[in-house]
Structure 1
Amino acid sequence: MTTYVLVHGSWGGGWVWRALAEELERSGHRVLVPTLTGLGSDASNLRPDITLDDHIRVVADSVAETGDEVILVGHSYGTVPACGAVATAAGRAVRQLVLLDGFIPTPGRSVFDDRPDVADILAALAAPHGGLYAEPAPPSAYGIDDAEIADWLTEASTLMPMSVLRQPFPSSLRSVDELDDLDVTYVRFTGTDLFLSAEETVRARGWAFEEVDGHHFAFVTQPRTIAAKISIA
């Protein structure tokens, strides 16, 4: 049995992992799906001063809660707090880090610093909320053309605090490639160009790189494929 901790991205919650979690559990694995502060089932605690440190703490606490070695999986924005958590004391329990179609943080720089194109998109989505919270991006931006999946994502998504995307990744935490004895795999979903540039960075760092033909939420529609990727990654 393997223990997995799955970290959702912007506008999401633990709910987004249902199909993949069920697939892993059918194979006898243990799965934790923490919800980041202010999102999903914790949306009632949304506030403008939520920090990236808050989100890193949620992930680190979930890893520590398992009391076991884990495979830590982050998706989209969720890769950022996942990378932060592996650099904390709790990260010693992480035997493998899997980044699914997401950001690769740079210590001392924010998501918006590294991706000004994303900053521009989210600024427009946050305009109705005074720049504090971003409305969910339309499913079409993720390459999703299935109406049922699109409706499911739209109905369940909640506002995203812009503060965590503006905060630099803590310089006090080492970058993932500086951590010894940690296997890292990046899986890019080819249905969009959101993270097209990731391959060059991943290969330069000597991490494993995989691709899956699917939209940004491929683990929702292809849970068996993704389960196999993160099981043998």
Structure 2
Amino acid sequence: MTAFILVAGAHTGGWVWRQVAAGLRDSGARAYEVTLTGMDGGGGAAGPGVDLETHIEELVRLIDRVEGQVVVVGHCYGIHPVRGAADRRPERISRIVNVDVGIPEDGDPALKLLPAQTDRERVLSLAQENNAGMLPAPAVEEWQRWGSVAGLPGEALARLTEQAVPQPLPTLTQPLRLSGAVAELPTTGVLCTANGSSIAVIETMVGLGDPAFQALADPGVTFFELDTGHWPMLSAPRELVDVLLRAAAGKGHRVAAVREQPTHLRPFLMDVKERPRERTGRVDLHLPDADGPRPAVVFVHGGPVPAGACPTPRDWPAFAGYAQYVANLGAVGVTVDHRLHELTAYGRAADDIAEATEFVRADPRVDGDRVALWFLSAGGLLAADWLAAPPSWLRCVAASYPILAPLPGWGLADSRFRPAAAVRGAGRLPIVLTRVGLERPEIAVTVEEFVSAAADCGAALEVIDLPLGHHGFETADPTDASRDAVRRAVRSVLGHLGAGTD
């Protein structure tokens, strides 16, 4: 009989697992919903000395009492004490299940789970004032900062708020210490798509080739998706019970290791004549045959792209292909390696793009008053600044399969990187949007939000639809329809720049 130990996230206790635990017991399994020390309300006081180590030791004692093999399940903060305890009792653990949370490594504090940089800074500030203190429980409108509340009935969100308790700050700031034994244990990730995670995202991360993600393709690692937000034990308890039982049986989607050329490194779908390329710092100029200054198109990649990715985006076939294509049509094609290496780095990436654009405009071969910015994928959020207050020299903004509002769980809800809101400041700036019909649902929602906002404010938006196109279609879908979409988008952008398109 499988025993499930269910560990809740920050500010909550075993009560959040009540329906899931009942469902597991009905199936014949044993279930232990854990309320960690200091998380039972108790007048809001956790007592001195309650930290991550306290919670790890507590779980170790429970594992020692439970007979047979154990599946340990951690949600949000709960994955830290779960992995810490499993590392000390690996022989007792048959599987670790991460519910809508990443895999913390040795030295990681749970503080890293907070999506928003401002929230991390707030916790650090509180800890500096009184490291033995408490992080107040969220108000009803603040839960979204921890993760998407999609799918949560109103009464469930109210109960979450009413029963939430302050979180001991040391549980968030103390680093997790692991011996390495936990890395050998079978693991399952439950990905909540309404919170921005999905199997497609995992496969993309593995495909980038960064060694940090290769463990996700291990045969002992499986994945499930749930179409709900960050609290599936409250929003989809029956579905979560089914997933946990299947995970315990070793089922789930396995991500294949990269044995062939990943999608983003496949050839560009257009045959383009090779043009001269000049590299300066993080910027590449793809130069046309032309006398005198020429307009420029700056291509902005998405991400996050790991700092160790090789090749870097400006050498990916799609970006180099676009830049060479516009260079063959008389404009300067520009590719930039900006530093969006993690979700907290959008500000740094925005600075990189602004700096690169000024560098390009200052080049004597570029007409600095005729520039277009073309954003792709998650780079779409970087369009917000330019849409909100477009400079006179910016003649067009283009976007291909972009993300146009922060996804839930990204911690950017209150940031400036919201093109769907910024478009109201675009005036008559031409905007060329290439929309793919086979987009991931969580991204498609942001595109439709943007299109609706653009229509409401009368923005000069042109939409080029590719009904059977996927995200990254320039290397994933080398079809005639895809090539036509690229030609139409390039023709439109260069037309706004006053460049020839023959």
TM bucket (normalised to shorter chain) is 0.7 to 0.9
* Matching of residues 146-161 of structure 1 within 5 Å: 146-161=153-168
Structure 1 residues 198 and 96, CA gap change in structure 2 (3 angstroms): farther
How far the C-alpha of 1:48 sits from its partner, in A, is 5.6
Indicate if the aligned counterparts of 2:76 and 2:113 stay in contact, CA closer than 8 A.
no
When normalised by structure 1's length, the TM-score is 0.84
For 1:133, give the aligned amino acid. M
Q: Report the CA distance between 1:209 and its aligned residue.
A: 2.1
Deviation of residue 36 (structure 1)? 1.2
Q: Within 5 Å, which residues of 2 pair with 1:73-88?
A: 73-88=73-88
1:197 CA displacement:
11
Of 187, 195, 198, 1:192 maps to: 195
1:139 equivalenced with 2:149 (yes/no): no
Instruction: Report the residue type matching 2:92 in the other structure.
Output: A
Residue 121, structure 1, aligned to residue 140, structure 2:
no
Mapping for residues 19-38 of structure 1, pairs under 5 Å: 19-38=19-38
- Asked if the contact 2:199–2:223 (Cα under 8 Å) also holds between the matched residues in 1, the reply is no
Change (3 A) 1:31 1:92: same
Task: Give the aligned partner of residue 9 of structure 1.
Answer: 9
Does the 8 Å contact 1:203/1:209 carry over to 2?
A: no
Separation in 1 of the partners of 2:87 and 2:106? 11
Any idea what the Cα deviations from partners look like across 1:43-82, whole Å, max 9, x if unmatched? Answer: 6650363221111111111111112211111111101110
If you compute each CA radius of gyration, which structure gives the higher value, 1 or 2?
Answer: 2
What residue identity is the alignment partner of 2:175? Answer: P
> How far, CA to CA, are the matches of 2:188 and 2:197 in structure 1?
18
The Cα offsets for residues 109-165 of structure 1, whole Å up to 9 and x where unpaired, read as 3233x4574563155479789563212232333322532111000011100112111
Find the residue that maps to 1:87 and give its secondary structure: helix
1:93-132 → structure 2 map (5 Å cutoff) = 93-112=92-111, 114=112, 117-118=115-116, 120-121=118-119, 123-124=121-122, 132=133
Residue equivalent to 2:180: 174
Per the alignment, in what secondary structure is the counterpart of residue 191 of structure 2?
strand
Alpha-carbon distance in 2 for matches of 1:83, 1:229:
20
One-letter identity of the residue aligned with 1:53: E
Q: What code does the residue aligned with 2:180 have?
A: R
Residue aligning to 1:232: 246
Contact 1:63–1:91 (CA<8 Å) still a contact in 2?
A: no
In the TM superposition, residue 4 of structure 1 has moved relative to its aligned partner by: 0.8
Q: How many residues align?
A: 227
Task: Report which stretch shifted further, 137-146 or 73-82.
Answer: 137-146
Contact 2:90 2:182 survives alignment (8 Å): no
Instruction: Say if 1:122 and 1:194 are closer, same or farther in 2 by CA, change over 3 A.
Output: farther
Q: Secondary structure at the match of 2:194?
A: coil
CA contact (8 A) 2:9 2:78 kept: yes
Q: Note the C-alpha offset of 1:95.
A: 0.7
The answer as to whether partners of 1:35 and 1:42 remain within 8 angstroms in 2 is no
Contact 2:41-2:165 within 8 A present in 1 as well:
no
Q: Which moved more, 1:212-221 or 1:100-109?
A: 100-109
Instruction: Supply the distance in 1 between the matched residues of 2:123 and 2:190 (Cα, whole angstroms).
Output: 27
Q: 1:56 to 1:74 in 2, by over 3 A?
A: same
Alignment gaps of 5+ in structure 1: none
What is the CA distance between 1:175 and its match in structure 2? 5.9
RMSD: 2.9
Contact 1:83 / 1:175 at 8 angstroms: preserved in 2? no
Distance 2:228 2:124 in 1: 27
Partner of 1:158, secondary structure, is: coil
Q: 1:196 to 1:117 in 2, by over 3 A?
A: farther
Q: TM-score, normalised by structure 2?
A: 0.41
Given that residues 20 and 226 in structure 1 are in contact (C-alpha distance below 8 angstroms), is that contact kept between their aligned partners in structure 2? yes
The match for 1:210 among 224, 228, 233 is 224
Q: The residue matched to 1:191 in structure 2 has which SS? A: helix
> Aligned partners of 2:72 and 2:191: how far apart in 1?
16
Cα distance, 1:127–1:193 mapped onto 2, change above 3 Å: farther
Comparing 115-124 with 220-229, greater Cα deviation is found at 115-124
